[in-house]
Amino acid sequence: MSHSINNRILRVDLTEGRTWTEAPGMEFYRKYVGGRMFIAHYLLKELPQGADPLGPENMLIFAAGPVTGTPVPGNARHSVGAKSPMSGLYGESEAGGYWGAELKSAGWDGIIFTGKAEKPVYLWIKDDAVEIRDAAHLWGKITGDVEAELRDELGDNRVRVTQIGPAGENLVRFACVVNDLNEFAGRAGMGAVMGSKNLKAIAVRGSTRPQPADMEPLKRTAQWVARDTFAEGQPHYIFHEYGTGAMVKSKQLEGHVISHNFRDGVLEGAENSDAISIKENVTERMDGCYSCSVNCKKRVRIETAKMTVDPKYGGPEYETLAAIGSNLGVTDIMAVCKSAEMVNYLGLDSISAGSVLAWAMEMVEMGVISPEDLGGEELTFGRGADVLRWIEMIAYRKGFGDVLAEGATHAARKIGQDSGKYVMAVKGIDLGMHDPRAMENMRRQFAVAPVGGDHCGSAHKRNSLANTLGICQFLDYDDELKLELLNAATGWDMTLQELDDAYERGITMARQFNIREGWTTADDAMPWRIHQPMAMGPMSDQVLTEEQVRGETQDYYESRGWDRESGLPQADTVERLGLQA
Ligand code: SF4
């Protein structure tokens, strides 16, 4: 152990029901650091090429970062990775909350699952003691019930649980992994991989908090965040006041509200269910992740004769309120909050759930999906009550929900008739709720991100490093501060150059994995619609051309040390980063 590094990775073979410990050593940690870099390293090194993402060969990796669990705001992140059942390529997603910090306190930096349990199981970790337990009594249950039962069964209310909902059990391709009931490793179908392994949950309780080498920079940063950054005009003001989703009004004025499957740039009434409205009308309180004073998480309570929403499931952040709200033409705040609660307790990625529904609604409008296909159900933009029913039908694969449970990319392959043209995804992963026609940073992110339509900036240094270190991207920490926190946590003397190299190494490993699994430059392209003008609003006279995107993509390749035309890492880049086969 070296301060915040435990030097312990837990290995679990679910086929054999066997667990063991690996101690990779400090050289390994200096090279691969943590979080998303661990995931890229292990997938590249150990996963057989061409493995079925939903087969027992796939690996499911939970990885904390070196800063995870230390006492500084934004320290609560961990990553979850596997080969994605949505893209067949590199899959990875990050979550906050408490679970990652608890894993570190139990003395582990990560968990790697392989194989498949014969029957449903959960993993119970109490410090060094690790046990694979029967989960027959939990299978089929929603997340809130599972967490309550596990805490009861384990006799400890402070046990932290990460788990899948019914959607993951039913192998909904875009099922997510849920921790602490309102935090999600949402993207790329990590919940489906967990379900394919018959792994319902991982319950953790630890007793030794990470011991940073130098508390001073952590304390100073914590004081700066809490004392100086919450006032109007300061970096964390909006997050602290409203969480994400407060900018819908300005998106409306600028003409890039996500609406009707990215077709329209405006939607009348979209601000009725934005973060400001949700905060003012239905939020019981703001809450946050472990040791973070920003408190950007809404907890929504609704108790009416018609509807209830339980605050234990949190409340919709921006991606959710756009995906299952404005993108579906739904502006009713009650319906949006109820949909958010449902995707949370059923364990669906809200972005992909909204995306497949928006795509299907447009296909119904165009007559590509027929009333007979829908079996008597309505699937039309703007009908919040129907959305609630469809969310359930997808999670339980009922009726046409079974087709939609495959996600838009796979469902379009089944439906045919040019419907794939209207799928708003890159590499099979639905776009985050940001329109690249209006947002240059997303244009530079979506096409080249190893995880397709990932909105979390993982293609670029700022956020990629955050995901590697275990730091939340919402914190306004520049590279120098990130480095200071890393060295304070670990006792290392890493330099900015080494940190740069770590970013380049992580992104290049993810690319190497994708190349191995069949990636081509055609996968680094935007959906057809992004090259069409918006159907209405202030941006309806602007076009983003394929040449523009291709040029920016090639610039990105070049700046990574990859070949400008082929996108393949150059030999000298691979050698410089120590990534030779
Ligand atoms: S800023 Fe928000 S999401 Fe990030 S760690 Fe703090 S509370 Fe969690």
Residue 356, classified by CB atoms within 10 Å of its CB into exposed (0-12), middle (13-18) or buried (19+), is buried
CB half-sphere exposure, 538, CA atoms < 13 A: 9
Q: Distance from the CA of 473 to the center of ligand 1, in angstroms?
A: 8
Query: What does the pLDDT read at residue 290?
Result: 96
Q: Which protein residue has the closest C-alpha to ligand 1 atom 5?
A: 74
Report the nearest atom of ligand 1 relative to the CA of 77: 5
Report the nearest atom of ligand 1 relative to the CA of 296: 2
Q: Distance from the CA of 236 to the center of ligand 1, in angstroms?
A: 10
- Altogether, the residues listed in the chain come to a count of 581
In order along its 581 residues, the chain shows pLDDT tens digits of 679 999 999 999 999 999 999 999 999 999 999 999 999 999 999 999 999 999 999 999 999 999 999 999 999 999 999 999 999 999 999 999 999 999 999 999 999 999 999 999 999 999 999 999 999 999 999 999 999 999 999 999 999 999 999 999 999 999 999 999 999 999 999 999 999 999 999 999 999 999 999 999 999 999 999 999 999 999 999 999 999 999 898 999 999 999 999 999 999 999 998 999 999 999 999 999 999 999 999 999 999 999 999 999 999 999 999 999 999 999 999 999 999 999 999 999 999 999 999 999 999 999 999 999 999 999 999 999 999 999 999 999 999 999 999 999 999 999 999 999 999 999 999 999 999 999 988 888 999 999 999 888 788 999 999 999 999 999 999 999 999 999 999 999 999 999 999 999 999 999 999 999 999 999 999 999 999 999 999 999 988 999 999 999 999 999 999 999 999 999 999 999 999 97
| Ligand 1 mutation target, pool 70, 98, 239, most atoms within 8 A of CB | 239
Query: What does the pLDDT read at residue 430?
Result: 98
Position 569, amino acid: P
| Ligand 1 mutation target, pool 78, 229, 294, 477, most atoms within 8 A of CB | 294
Q: Distance from the CA of 297 to the center of ligand 1, in angstroms?
A: 7
Report the nearest atom of ligand 1 relative to the CA of 292: 6
Coarse DSSP helix, strand, coil percentages of the chain, rounded to the nearest 5 percent: 40, 15, 45
Query: What does the pLDDT read at residue 425?
Result: 98
| Ligand 1 mutation target, pool 241, 289, 299, 456, most atoms within 8 A of CB | 289
Distance (Å, whole) CA 70 – CA 78: 13
Q: Distance from the CA of 392 to the center of ligand 1, in angstroms?
A: 29
C-beta neighbour count of 148 within 10 angstroms = 15
Q: Distance from the CA of 186 to the center of ligand 1, in angstroms?
A: 16
Q: Distance from the CA of 290 to the center of ligand 1, in angstroms?
A: 8
Q: Which protein residue has the closest C-alpha to ligand 1 atom 8?
A: 289
Query: What angle is formed at CA 470 by the lines to CA 468 and CA 475, rounded to 5 degrees?
Result: 110
Q: Distance from the CA of 123 to the center of ligand 1, in angstroms?
A: 27
Query: What does the pLDDT read at residue 1?
Result: 64
Give kind and range of the element (H or E) at residue 139: none
Distance (Å, whole) CA 274 – CA 337: 11
> Is 568 in contact with 562 (CB distance < 8 Å)?
yes
| Ligand 1 mutation target, pool 75, 295, 474, most atoms within 8 A of CB | 474
Q: Distance from the CA of 475 to the center of ligand 1, in angstroms?
A: 8
Q: Distance from the CA of 435 to the center of ligand 1, in angstroms?
A: 24
Q: Distance from the CA of 100 to the center of ligand 1, in angstroms?
A: 13
Ligand 1 binding pocket (C-beta < 6 A) is 73-74, 76, 96, 239, 288-289, 292, 294-297, 472, 474
Q: Which protein residue has the closest C-alpha to ligand 1 atom 2?
A: 296
Query: What does the pLDDT read at residue 457?
Result: 72
Q: Distance from the CA of 240 to the center of ligand 1, in angstroms?
A: 9
Query: What does the pLDDT read at residue 444?
Result: 81
Handedness of CA 104, 151, 158, 129 (dihedral sign): negative
* Nearest residue to 226 (alpha-carbon basis) of 65, 71, 78, 456: 71
Query: What angle is formed at CA 186 by the lines to CA 363 and CA 13, rounded to 5 degrees?
Result: 120
Give kind and range of the element (H or E) at residue 489: helix 479-490
Residue 41: helix, strand or coil by DSSP?
helix
| Ligand 1 mutation target, pool 242, 286, 292, 467, most atoms within 8 A of CB | 292
Chain centroid to CA 296: 17
> Is 187 in contact with 467 (CB distance < 8 Å)?
no
| Ligand 1 mutation target, pool 297, 456, 463, most atoms within 8 A of CB | 297
Q: Distance from the CA of 293 to the center of ligand 1, in angstroms?
A: 8
Report the nearest atom of ligand 1 relative to the CA of 472: 4
